[in-house]
Amino acid sequence: MLAQEIIRRKRDGHALSDADITAFVRGLVDASWSESQSAAMAMAMFLKGMDSHETIALTQAMTRSGSVMDWSHAELPGPILDKHSTGGVGDKVSLMLAPIVAACGGYVPMISGRGLGHTGGTLDKFDSIPGYNSTPNTQQLRKALQTAGCAIIGQTDELAPADRRLYAIRDVTATVESIPLITASILSKKLAAGLQGLVMDVKVGNGAFADNLPMAQALAQSLVTVANGAGLPTRACLTDMNQILGDTCGNALEMQEALAFLKGERQEARLLSVTRLLSAEMLCLGKLAATESEALARVDAALHSGRALEHFARMVHTLGGPADFCERADSYLAHAPVKIPVFAQESGYVLGIDTRDVGLQVIELGGGRHKTSDVVDPCVGFSQCIQLGHAVQKGDVLAMVHAATADAAQAASQGFARSVHIGTTSASHAAQLQNASPLLQRIHA
């Protein structure tokens, strides 16, 4: 089957057959399709779109392009579940959610990624833990699940190799923003992980990939439709990303916040709401709770009893981290040599935050990547970040900058101050901003 004929069919707006898609995916893996042919195909898919049948076929073909995990012999007495976020600034939910669900009887082999662009990566947060191995072999992964009930790791070379090549092509050909291609990329890895249930957290707002509700709804519906069509029960929640989630952004800082959350020492309201919501969705999807209220009660019990923290500690130790990490995290996590406040330049209420800009400032501090080969500084970022609706006086602290140098700290302080919009409004409107639910919509089918 000639590659150019398959490209021609999609270029002219026709639906591709399963055989066409299989040939394309095989060509990605064995390099029988050249870079130019693969790029042309990605652009044709981007411009002409793909229907749900094509997207399901592409997802399944990319899943089959490598190994598919089989947990039937692991003797795990609970459902295999996962959560995936489309990415946001300060989004550390996975760090708490995986051990919470594990403490409630689920098993969570969470394949996560590194940050690229303005959103942080879950694996980068775990890289701040000395010794933590985010790329274990199958035997180590199985042991982590049996011991801790959860393992937050990176994609191995064996899982969905077609996706890795196609994503690299999309990244340099301006074809990343295609809902069918995004859907196939995310779900091929999740299907390869051998999941029995998946909850998608689709972020919406100025700090998210989907910056408007219609785009987020289309992406969420595509993910749910294709995942269920491919045999993976999936639900989606649309959550707000018009401000930092929690009060930190930056790898070691977010790890510290996650530990404080699991210990019950500090639980920022929106972060708690999103974490409880997504954890409860996973328990209901995995039939570990019959109703949402029962699921939320189980989530709360896992947190308040300390069982979620215990599962987190076991996961870290089983995957190579310190046995006493949770007790002595402050001595293990790196600290920035320079720490300065960001002061409010006027009085009023916080009416808006340019969240994407805050994420970009973390990258400029060294806490993210301009390109995949960049080395990340784990200790830089922002803490004590202000939230929408809060009243401030001129000179109040909006955040604390953690930086490697005084010059970098000063630039980040000025940048953060510019990202926070302070103005006058009624107290009732400010309260609405402060108390708005981060859940925007659920999509279950």
Residues 6+ apart with CB under 8 A from 221: 236, 443
Look up 190 and say whether it is catalytic: yes
- Residue ranges of E strands in 166-287: 197-204, 234-240
Residue 84 is among the residues annotated as catalytic for this protein: yes
**Nearest CA-CA partner of 92 in 255, 208, 300:** 255
Active-site residue 203, yes or no? Answer: no
Among the listed residues 10, 118, 165, 190, the single catalytic one is 190
Residues β-bridged to residue 203 = 239
Q: Is 82 a catalytic residue?
A: yes
Please name every residue paired with 5 in a beta bridge, in sequence order, or none if there are none: none
CB atoms within 10 A of CB 293: 10
Tell me which of 189, 307, 311, 402 is the catalytic residue: 189
Out of 38, 55, 119, 122, the active site residue is 122
User: Which one-letter amino acid corresponds to residue 185?
Assistant: S
DSSP 80: B
For this structure, is 114 an active site residue?
A: no
Cα-based torsion angle of the residue sequence 267, 382, 339, 373 in order, rounded to the nearest 10 degrees: 130
Q: Which residue from 259, 298, 262 is spatially nearest to 280, judged by alpha carbons?
A: 298
The CA distance from 306 to 404, in Å, is 35
* DSSP β-bridge partners for residue 107: 80
User: Of the residues 170, 235, 276, 298, which is catalytic?
Assistant: 170
* Residue 285: strand, helix, or coil: helix
For residue 316, give the 3-state DSSP assignment. Answer: helix
Say how far apart CA 179 and CA 86 lie, in whole Å. Answer: 12
Q: Which of 82, 124, 201, 240 is catalytic?
A: 82
Q: How far is the C-alpha of 160 from the C-alpha of 57, rounded, in Å?
A: 14
Catalytic residue among 84, 92, 276, 314: 84
Given CA atoms 266, 268, 269, 273 in this order, what sign does their dihedral have? negative
Q: Which one of 63, 85, 112, 156 is the catalytic residue?
A: 85
Dist. CA 14–CA 315, nearest whole Å = 48
The alpha-carbon radius of gyration of the chain (Å, integer) is 22
Active site annotation includes 125: no
| Residue 421 is a catalytic residue | no
According to DSSP, the residues that pair with 421 across neighbouring strands are: 352
Catalytic residue at 189?
A: yes
Is 83 catalytic? The answer is yes
Q: Which residues form the catalytic set?
A: 82-85, 122, 170, 185, 189-190
